[in-house]
């Protein structure tokens, strides 16, 4: 399955934001080892938003791109709630697709 990984990204410090990204990446690695194709919407979005410069609404760009990426997934692994992660969860759940909250809920491919 193509499984999106969602969790908090925004934080007060760069170190906290990086820790949040690292947590999502570690979960994605576990999914890959189970034979699934993991994607992290915020990872895709950050590369673009970082290059777009100050003329864009950074939060909106990150959310729009992240939601587009997650919208193509067959399931979601929600690591923890946040406003953005909850939007990703609602998008996937609204399609009737599974939303997991722990890696152990996901069977190997």
What Cα–Cα distance (Å) separates residue 7 from each residue in 40, 62, 91?
A: 9, 14, 14
For residue 34, the SS3 value is coil
Sign of CA dihedral 59, 91, 87, 22: negative
Cβ neighbors of 71 (< 8 A, separation 6 or more) are 91, 92
> Residues 63-108: pLDDT tens digits?
999 999 999 999 999 999 999 999 999 999 999 999 999 999 999 9
Q: Quick one: what percent of the chain has pLDDT higher than 90?
A: 94
Q: CB–CB of 60/84 below 8 Å?
A: no
């Amino acid at each position: 399955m193509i499984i999106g990984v969602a969790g908090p990204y925004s934080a007060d410090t760069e170190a906290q934001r990086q820790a949040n990204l690292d947590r999502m990446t570690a979960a994605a690695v576990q999914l890959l080892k189970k034979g699934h194709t993991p994607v992290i919407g915020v990872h895709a979005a950050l590369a673009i938003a970082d290059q777009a410069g100050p003329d864009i609404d950074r939060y909106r760009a990150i959310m729009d791109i992240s939601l587009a990426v997650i919208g193509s997934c067959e399931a979601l692994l929600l690591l923890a709630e946040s406003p953005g992660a909850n939007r990703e969860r609602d998008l996937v759940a609204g399609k009737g697709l599974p939303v997991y909250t722990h890696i152990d809920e996901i069977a190997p491919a």
